């Protein structure tokens, strides 16, 4: 984790996907991204499209939405 970004590797369909980056924090978000990777790769989504989507997705604004500073 670096700031609000996580990088991880994932073995999916016999292929090692290295340095995947998501703009979210938390183990649960990595697991969600791994599930998306598995489905999208089976549907034929191109690797660059997946990587770009992961990198730019900011999630839903709820729990970690910044409301102000003290």
**4-57 tens-digit pLDDT:** 899 999 999 899 999 999 988 899 999 999 999 999 999 999 999 999 999 988
Give the single-character DSSP code of 63: T
Both structure tokens of 21: 């980056």
Question: CA torsion sign, 29 to 31 to 37 to 42?
Answer: negative
Which residues have C-beta within 8 Å of that of residue 9, sequence separation ≥ 6?
Answer: 16, 17, 18, 19, 20
Q: How far apart are CA 47 and CA 21, in angstroms?
A: 13
Q: What's the N-to-C CA distance of the chain in angstroms?
A: 24
């Amino acid at each position: 984790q670096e700031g609000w970004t996580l990088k991880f590797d994932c073995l999916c369909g016999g292929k090692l996907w290295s340095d995947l980056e998501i703009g979210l924090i938390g183990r649960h978000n990595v697991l969600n991204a791994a599930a998306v990777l598995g489905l999208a790769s089976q549907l034929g989504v191109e690797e660059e499209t997946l990587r770009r989507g992961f990198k730019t997705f900011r999630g839903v604004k709820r729990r970690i939405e910044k409301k102000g500073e003290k």
